[in-house]
Amino acid sequence: MRHSRLDFEYRGASQSDARPLLVCFSHLRWNFVWQRPQHLLSHASERFDVVFVEEPIFEAGAMARLERKRIGPSLQLLVPVIDPADAHEAVWILQGLLAQELDALGHTTRIFWYYTPAAIAFTSELPRDLTLYDNMDELSAFKGASDTLVAQETALLGQADLVFTGGHSLHAAKCDRHPNIHCFPSSVDAAHFARARGSVTADPADQAAIPHPRLGFFGVVDERFDADFLDELADLRPDWQFVILGPVVKIDPAGLPRGPNIHWLGPKSYAELPDYLAHWDLGLMPFALNASTRFISPTKTPEFLAAGLPVVSTPIVDVVRSYGEIGLVEIAETPIQAVLAAEALMARPREPWLTQVDTRLAGGSWERTWADMEAKIMAALGIPILASYSPPLRETA
């Protein structure tokens, strides 16, 4: 790791030579599903110049290049494009492309922010002043994960100056593997989802004809989604309607249940979600209990709550610990338990439950989470934070 002279003042100035460069390496596409990386890096771009590097796209006959897209004044997307014939040299190609790009940007200070340990293969030799690993998921447990991810994560932890985890379970699993690790669970843009309260928005056209009660899920439908659980729920209550929003990835859509009361409405933008949730009666989180969900901390939990929707979830550890034990989310191990919990929730008055929800969510905004993270980043860099900077707003593990 390179240690440059940190000879600029941290004022959030607009000039690139007065702002740190934050380079994020992600396994997620920026335009896939709006979640943790997009929230945090959007906040980061207020004081940093942010470059979001996606995984490469392989295009037959392509000349190796980086495609650029400006997302905001201080946030740009880089997508490597490589000919499949050169895949065996992808590490060297990516390293060369990035080295040239980052040098051309000319920043005094570089921060490398990793979501995927796989990126260590082509970045380990590139100079930077701080290496940060935001461990939001246990990627090695996901379907189709490379066998090399575990070794790559070990290498990344060895290089990292600072490690964040996306939930308490991940923190507990990794806390003895790094001396400077901090837990930052899923946060929420409460104002965005609060639009769903009161059903003041028009029911979207593809949902309007669906009867009530409506129980809904939004998010990626993959190996973490328990399709059998949903299928049995739908059979147990044929008069209930189950609305599923989100892309289907890594699993065969033909294997998903297709009962008359199950409605697969496909992906929706982050901006659209409150319009759908405003017309649901209950939030449903039918996560499978397997290796891929052992450490998850679903962002949709506080988002459902901010929308004012009661929630039934399968017993995901971080959901139980953060929301189930204090009565904000009902936990159900089996479909019949989920039915009984849902019946009770839909019959229960929303107050004083909503008051408890709002109290719990008040300390968990993405803005506050980023403020805490940023303070730790600047401390690790040894850069004094000026008085105009907001201090950390909560203690992290």
Residue pLDDT, tens place only, 43-74: 999 999 999 999 999 999 999 999 999 999 99
300 lies in the same domain as 207: yes
| Total domains present in the chain | 2
Distance CA 243, CA 365 (A): 27
97 lies in the same domain as 56: yes
392 within a domain of the structure (yes/no): no
Q: Using the 8-state DSSP alphabet, how is residue 337 labeled?
A: H
74 lies in the same domain as 114: yes
Query: Is the pLDDT higher at 201 or at 49?
Result: 49
**Cα separation of the two ends of the chain:** 26
388 within a domain of the structure (yes/no): no
40 lies in the same domain as 169: yes
Residue pLDDT, tens place only, 162-173: 999 999 999 999
Distance CA 366, CA 371 (A): 8
The answer to whether 181 touches 165, Cβ cutoff 8 Å, is: yes
Burial label for 85, CB within 10 Å (0-12, 13-18, 19+), is exposed
176 lies in the same domain as 206: no
287 within a domain of the structure (yes/no): yes
30 lies in the same domain as 113: yes
Specify whether the backbone of 6 is left (phi greater than 0), alpha (psi in -120 to 50) or beta.
beta
Query: Is the pLDDT higher at 370 or at 145?
Result: 370
Query: How confident is the prediction for the chain on average, in pLDDT?
Result: 90
58 within a domain of the structure (yes/no): yes
Span 321-338, average pLDDT: 97
Other CB atoms within 10 A of residue 216 CB: 25
135 lies in the same domain as 202: no
126 within a domain of the structure (yes/no): yes
Q: What pLDDT does 385 receive? A: 61
Name the pLDDT band for 145 (thresholds 50, 70, 90).
low
Per-residue pLDDT at 1 exceeds 50: no
Residue pLDDT, tens place only, 347-357: 999 989 999 99
181 lies in the same domain as 194: no
Residue pLDDT, tens place only, 250-290: 999 999 999 999 999 999 999 999 999 999 999 999 999 99
Q: Using the 8-state DSSP alphabet, how is residue 221 labeled?
A: B
Q: Which of 155, 25, 16 is nearest to 95 (CA)?
A: 25
Q: Using the 8-state DSSP alphabet, how is residue 106 labeled?
A: -
Distance CA 364, CA 187 (A): 5
Give percent of the chain with pLDDT exceeding 90: 83
24 lies in the same domain as 166: yes
CATH number of the domain that residue 125 is part of: 3.40.50.2000
230 lies in the same domain as 176: no
Query: Is the pLDDT higher at 387 or at 58?
Result: 58
234 lies in the same domain as 334: yes
Residue 319 token pair: 């959901």
182 within a domain of the structure (yes/no): yes
Query: Is the pLDDT higher at 90 or at 199?
Result: 90
Please give the residue range of the domain that contains residue 271.
190-361
393 within a domain of the structure (yes/no): no
153 lies in the same domain as 203: no
Other CB atoms within 10 A of residue 1 CB: 13
**Torsions phi, psi of 312, nearest 5?**
-115, 130
4 within a domain of the structure (yes/no): no
Span 284-307, average pLDDT: 95
Name the pLDDT band for 8 (thresholds 50, 70, 90).
very low
Per-residue pLDDT at 92 exceeds 80: yes
Per-residue pLDDT at 152 exceeds 90: yes
